[in-house]
Structure 1
């Protein structure tokens, strides 16, 4: 059972079914039954009151996942990049990692448990009309489902990726570890629903100028169906169709059900 659908990863699925390719290794049926994502909870808070006041598709949602942390230096560059871009944003912010390059900052006794204390001096004041900082956690599915969200600066975990696509939100790919680098390549080079920096964030600090450029690009993409915003909206509708009756994922579930019945009948016959 694979949490994807035919239109999203047709090349990969074809390879998994071909005995001369990946199918020769897998050697079992592959059922793409996605996208399976968390449901919108309908939460209400000051965050959504703020989002309600913003124009449609004008806000960048910034979150690096439950385990994604930035260095103090990179956190500073992200803050400056967002500020320089002059794009609206919601940033789920956490304290940075402690790295050798940041030792002087922590040795000086700065920081602590409050993630906002690590932001550049005056950042909150200068961006109070543009952005909203959310310490530690936000209801991501609800945020991505909001009509004011126009981009997602994401670590490219598969759950976040599906949540973004199924809500029609293009991404700035910011992979940090594990399979996220592979996902980022898939999203930018094959599927075409994301942009990314020239250097891997896990290898080198991405500078504020490039972050500013990507933030502007993701919101100001006006290429219609030829741009990433048009492409991600096509996939949103494709995902809905895949899960509907007669869709590819619905049919995959039906095939699995039939296969399970055949196996049970064989087991019953053997027992008799």
Structure 2
């Protein structure tokens, strides 16, 4: 008898592709179902995406079909944001996705799209699948804001950034100017309207899978499910199945990084990595470097070439990247710090015993990779929903410290950088001790969620039974 068959659709960009591939791996390994992934690739980042797809395909867990994205320049304004282009691209991919599904030897039972791909859900009905679901690789608060946005759009006058009081989301933490998603900053911008449409489409699915777990966000999950104002907007079941993250793989570990880490004391190094989609000004790079030096703490800084949100790298070479550092910085910090300008295996680094903190842009995948290793965070949010993530980590979960201002709007001075770094890794700091203890608690709860009978393990099987992937 053939295995049940699930179809996953990934939006372009590594930040969207990798979470969907990891979900596919989890569904395949835990449920023993056949997984086919339609990966919409972006021409600008085809090399990095192809490498990720090749690595995932080598595991044999998923059958991956690449769908080159269509040209949507005639459908969007010349200055359209990346988010707008992704939403529009995914809708425009429907004919290609339909043909790909029709060419499959076995018809998928269910279809899962990420939240940029909600415009493709009608395809599931057209080809006779039994269910269509949305995967939110972010957290429950993000999901709550997304589905409540159509309500806010009707009741809030003017720009959200100008509101005096935080906006109330029933049963959830309110959303203030420092928590707004990037797509909500300008209501006249098309990306806001696209995001609004996505919020309207999510409740038309048969359910939502979200990359969090009950012990981490129980109150917000309850608000989405229980008989209240938010659940009446949500309408469909919500399954917390996280944390789904990349695991320590068989990647080639750069000897220079791990030989250096092996020589450092336990929990003494701050890992600094601000993702592939954000960039820092020259002034901010200088202040961050001076702050790391001023802190007196050990650090591993992955200083990558700036890339777009979709992953296209600039033409700068490694020497040009390092040219943005203060004169003599590399010499003065030699032995105490290590600056890496090439790709570095983040999960393996966070797993190393010498890592005591993570200065992060707070992309949710990076957050989960840190939390599952018990590593506390210095929150440095830059774009997308990262401002929300920083607030969640500091005010609700208690595993992070954050900058006094949003780094996307203000330059964070070296003195503040030094204070934040010391707070996370210096053993004598009382606040830091509490944060480190909480990070360890969260690590334990994340492991428990995926044990047999754990909350996420049970939630996944509840979903799988509902959509007839398991009996």
If the TM-score is normalised by the length of the shorter chain, which range does it land in? 0.7 to 0.9
Q: State the shift of 1:225 in Å.
A: 10
Instruction: Report if aligned partners of 1:61, 1:153 keep a CA contact under 8 Å in 2.
Output: yes
1:192 pairs with 2:402: no
- Distance (whole Å) between structure 1 residues aligned to residue 329 and residue 450 of structure 2: 44
CA contact (8 A) 2:423 2:431 kept: no
> Which residue number in structure 1 is paired with residue 231 of structure 2?
23
Change (3 A) 1:17 1:81: same
With normalisation by structure 2, the TM-score equals 0.51
CA contact (8 A) 1:31 1:252 kept: yes
The Cα of 1:67 is off from its aligned counterpart by 1.0
Contact 2:212 2:240 in 1 (8 A): yes
In structure 2, the residue matched to 1:77 is 287
1:141-152 equivalence runs, <5 A? 141-152=347-358
Distance 1:226 1:22, change over 3 A: farther
Superposed, 1:46-195 pairs within 5 Å as 46-95=256-305, 112-114=316-318, 115-195=321-401
Task: State which drifts further: 221-230 or 154-163.
Answer: 221-230
Where does residue 230 of structure 1 map in the other structure? 437
Partner-residue secondary structure (3-state), 2:438? helix
In structure 2, what is the equivalent of residue 246 of structure 1? 453
Question: Which of residues 235, 242, 245 is equivalent to 1:34?
Answer: 242
Instruction: Identify the match of residue 415 of structure 2 among 209, 212, 226.
Output: 209
Larger RCO, structure (CA 8 Å, separation 6 or more): 1
Runs (4+) of structure 1 exceeding 4 A deviation are 221-226
2:378 partner SS = strand
* CA deviation after TM superposition for structure 1 residue 56, in Å: 0.5
1:91 counterpart SS class: strand
Q: TM-score, normalised by structure 1?
A: 0.87
Shift of 1:264: 9.9
Partner of 2:17: none
1:10 corresponds to 2:218: yes
Structure 2 unaligned segments of length 5 or more: list them. Answer: 1-208, 308-314
CA drift at 1:37: 0.3
Q: Which residue of 1 aligns with 2:467?
A: 260
Q: CA deviation at 1:112?
A: 4.9
Unaligned runs of 5+ residues in structure 1 are: 98-110, 266-272
**Distance verdict in 2 for CA 1:46–1:3, change over 3 Å:** same
CA distance in structure 2 between the partners assigned to 1:140 and 1:65 by the alignment: 10
User: Deviation per CA, 1:43-62, whole angstroms, max 9, x where unpaired?
Assistant: 43210011011000000000
- Secondary structure of 2:407 counterpart: coil
Report if aligned partners of 1:19, 1:27 keep a CA contact under 8 Å in 2.
no
**Residue deviations 1:179-216 (CA, integer Å, cap 9, x gap):** 00000000000000000111110110000000011111
Kindly indicate whether the alpha-carbon contact (under 8 Å) linking 1:224 and 1:230 is maintained by their aligned counterparts in 2.
no
Give the CA deviation at 1:228. 0.5
Q: Could you tell me whether the CA contact under 8 Å between 1:74 and 1:205 is conserved in 2?
A: yes
Tell me, in whole angstroms, the C-alpha distance in 1 between the residues paired with 2:432 and 2:283. 37
RMSD over equivalenced CA pairs, Å: 2.1
Q: Deviations over 1:108-131 (max 9, x none)?
A: xxx953311111000000000200
Q: Which residue of structure 2 aligns with residue 219 of structure 1? A: 425
Q: Secondary structure at the match of 1:124?
A: helix
